[in-house]
Amino acid sequence: MMDSIEPKTLQPEGAAPLEKADPAIYPPDEAVAAPTEIFEEPLVTTQEEERISIASNWTLVWWRFRKNVLAVISTVILLFLAIVVFIPDFFATMDPEETNARLAFIPVQRIHWLDEGQLKPWVPSVVGKRDPVTLAMKWTTDEAQKTYIRFFGTSWSYSVLGIFDSNIHLVSAAKADQADDDLAAQIFLLGTDRLGRDQWSRLAFATQISMTIGMISVIVSVVLGLLLGGISGYFGGWIDNIIQRLIELLQSLPTIPIWLALTAALPRTWSPEKVFFAITIILALRGWTTLGREVRGRFLSLREEDFVLAAELGGASQARIIVKHMIPTFTSHIIATSTLAIPVMIVTETSLSFLGLGMRPPAISWGVMLQEAQNIQTLALAPWLLTPGLIVIVAVLAFNLVGDGLRDAADPYSH
């Protein structure tokens, strides 16, 4: 049993030191090449174990994420909203800016899927009656008159991401191309507003603007946060001090008055595009601070990690250590945090626009649309004007659920 009881003999006197000049890692020495005894148990892994053992971190995150039903459902909702963001025209049934005072406050037309036992979707047509006192039109829907609808019909042409043109639309009235002014040839799936603009089509475009503002301001925040937080955490010293004080300053400013002041200062004459960019920047300006703090903290603690030291001792450059070792360890976390930041941005934009300080008509955003629903009278008269609020809630919830799901999946042991 104990054959090696004698103390280990050291190398003989004057043993030649290992050849430094030899780039080969091990000289072709028998003793070196012979494998040591393999202590490990035989390789009897099941397929399942094998699958887990070669699963990268992202795969593991995905496996944990998909167990979270709410998060998966929310992801599907967000993917759907993303499609709307990219091709709102596909969803729109008419020009969202086209006003027609005659058609104000048309109520929601509910879709019926079956017609006399057959699958033939239709909506009840709108019928107008003039109020004898106010002379305003009062619209109701009439189940007896059917406006048939069709899916993937053709209408006006639009550009898909600037790559190609299409004229296919998700839904339209069956006779849309025939008579222009015939009410039976138009559908208003979510009714119309004060100016007779189609709520459904406006919502598609509002989704595009509001989601984009949320995303872009978060992306700007992430870039700023990664950059400044990374510099702060990795280099430390006076630059860290300056960035930390800046973060503290920005975080101590009362947000709402600052936002109000900044957005109110935007010149009325600016084009919607300019306002759009200005608003994303204003939102990002404070948004990066939380992330910056977090990135800094991660860098600080990662600098102490043994595997980072091991890479340094192995000769890896600083750039390599940051890119290969540090950033990958917190990307999943950053993605989760950013996902959770998007709804904050969306709500902020919506609130500002609602107050008339963010996006302004003719631009369309969820906030701008909700502005239409500002008084009780309209609400009582046309409750469908609140649908943008519903969408905001769904989007915000979905982002939060996905963000939480991602965070739990990325860091299962944190709680």
Partner 1 sequence: MVTQIHPLIKPANDLTREPLLRVEDLKAYFFMDEGIVRAVDGVSFDVMPGKVVGIVGESGCGKSVTMKAILQILEAGAKIVNGKVTLRSRIHHGDPNSAEELIELTHLHPNSRQMRRIRGAEIALIPQEPMAAFSPVHTVGNQIMETILLHQDVSKKEARQIAIDVFRAVGISMPEQRIDSYSWQLSGGLRQRAIIAMALSCNPRLLIADEPTTAIDVTTQAQILKLLRKLQEERQTSIIFITHDLGVIAQMADEVVVMYLGMVMEKGSAMKIFKDAQHPYTQALLRSIPSVQSHPRVKLPTIAGSIAHPFNRPKGCPFHPRCTHFMRGVCDASQPHLVEVDEDHFVSCFLYSEADGTKKMTKTGAALAKEESL
Partner 2 sequence: MSDGMQPLEPKAGAATKSPLLEVRHLKKYFPIYKGVLRKLVNQVRAVDDVSLFVREGETLGLVGESGCGKTTVSRCILRAIDPTSGEILFREADGRVTDLAALDRREMRRFRPQMQMIFQDPFGSLNPRMTIFEIVSEPLYVNGMRSKTEREDHVAELLRLVGLRTEYMARYPHAFSGGQRQRIGIARALALNPRLVVADEPVSALDVSVQAQVLNLMLDLQQKLNLTYLFVAHDLSVVKHISDRVCVMYVGKLVEMATTEELFQAPRHPYTAALMMAVPRPDPSSRDIIQDLPGEVASPANPPSGCYFHPRCQFATEVCRTQTPELREITPDHFVSCHRAEELHLAGIKVNQETQI
CB neighbours of 234 closer than 8 A, spacing ≥ 6?
Answer: 299, 303, 322, 326
Binding-residue total with partner 2 (CB under 8 A): 49
Residues 284-313 within binding reach of partner 2 (CB under 8 A): 305-307, 309-313
Q: Residue 199 to residues 45, 55, 181, 262, 333: CA-CA distances in angstroms?
A: 59, 47, 18, 30, 38
| 15 near partner 2, rule: CB under 8 A | yes
Is residue 396 within 8 A of residue 347, CB to CB? The reply is yes
Binding segment (CB under 8 A) for partner 1, from list 1-9, 194-202, 279-287, 323-331: 1-9
| 4 near partner 1, rule: CB under 8 A | yes
Q: For 45, phi and psi rounded to 5 degrees? A: -95, 145
* Cis amide prior to 362 (ω within 30 degrees): yes
Joined together, the tokens standing for residue 381 give 């008269």
| 39 near partner 2, rule: CB under 8 A | yes
Q: Closer CB to partner 2, residue 173 or residue 311?
A: 311
| 49 near partner 2, rule: CB under 8 A | yes
Q: Terminus-to-terminus CA distance in the chain, angstroms?
A: 48
Listing DSSP states for 51-68 in one string gives HHHT--HHHHHHHHHTT-
Q: Closer CB to partner 1, residue 174 or residue 409?
A: 409
CA angle 310, 315, 319 (to 5 degrees): 95
**298-317 as b/e: b if 16+ CB within 10 A:** bbeebeeeeebeebeeeebe
Binding segment (CB under 8 A) for partner 2, from list 21-29, 123-131, 145-153, 188-196: 21-29
Residues 33-92 within binding reach of partner 1 (CB under 8 A): 39-41, 67
Binding segment (CB under 8 A) for partner 2, from list 145-153, 155-163, 322-330, 346-354: 322-330
Q: For 173, phi and psi rounded to 5 degrees? A: -70, 145
The CA distance from 29 to 91, in Å, is 72
SS3 content of the chain, % helix, strand, coil (to 5): 55, 15, 30
Q: Closer CB to partner 2, residue 13 or residue 180?
A: 13
Residues 276-305 within binding reach of partner 1 (CB under 8 A): none
Q: Which of 204, 199, 209 lies closest to 91 in space, CA to CA?
A: 204
State the residue for tokens 């943008």: 388
CB neighbours of 82 closer than 8 A, spacing ≥ 6?
Answer: 211
**To the nearest whole angstrom, how small is the minimum distance from the Cβ of residue 308 to partner 2?**
8
Q: Closer CB to partner 1, residue 34 or residue 101?
A: 34
Is residue 282 within 8 A of residue 358, CB to CB? The reply is no
Q: Indicate which single residue of 328, 374, 379, 412 sits in contact with partner 2 (rule: CB under 8 A).
A: 328
| 1 near partner 1, rule: CB under 8 A | yes
Q: Closer CB to partner 1, residue 22 or residue 40?
A: 40
| 316 near partner 2, rule: CB under 8 A | yes
**To the nearest whole angstrom, how small is the minimum distance from the Cβ of residue 237 to partner 2?**
12
Q: Indicate which single residue of 317, 374, 393, 412 sits in contact with partner 2 (rule: CB under 8 A).
A: 317
**To the nearest whole angstrom, how small is the minimum distance from the Cβ of residue 176 to partner 1?**
52
Binding segment (CB under 8 A) for partner 1, from list 4-12, 21-29, 77-85, 238-246: 4-12
Binding site for partner 2 (CB under 8 A): 2, 5, 8, 10-11, 13, 15, 17-20, 23, 25-26, 31-33, 35-40, 43, 49, 52-57, 60, 305-307, 309-317, 320, 324-325, 328-329
Binding site for partner 1 (CB under 8 A): 1-2, 4-8, 39-41, 67
